[in-house]
Amino acid sequence: MLPPSDYFHRNGFSNAAIIESLNDSERLELEMRLIKMLEGSSDGLIGETMY
């Protein structure tokens, strides 16, 4: 869901299509995982993915 945080992997990256394809249950699970990831990181893409 989130590529490594370097220019090569993130330049032009979007996970919007993946997120849009998830059902409500899958989105809830993803949101819970992202919240856990955010607790130990300052990665802006985590927040963007949650939006």
Domain spans, the chain: 6-40
Residue 49: pLDDT over 90: no
At 11-20, the pLDDT tens digits run 999 999 999 9
Q: Residues 11, 14, 33, 35: is their CA dihedral positive or negative?
A: positive
Distance, CA of 40 to CA of 16 (rounded, Å): 23
Decide: residue 17, CB within 10 A, 0-12 exposed, 13-18 middle, 19+ buried: exposed
Residue 47 confidence (pLDDT) = 84
pLDDT tens sequence across 15-36:
999 999 999 999 999 999 999 9
Please answer whether residues 43 and 5 qualify as being in contact, where contact means their C-beta atoms are separated by less than 8 angstroms: yes
* Res 1 pLDDT > 80: no
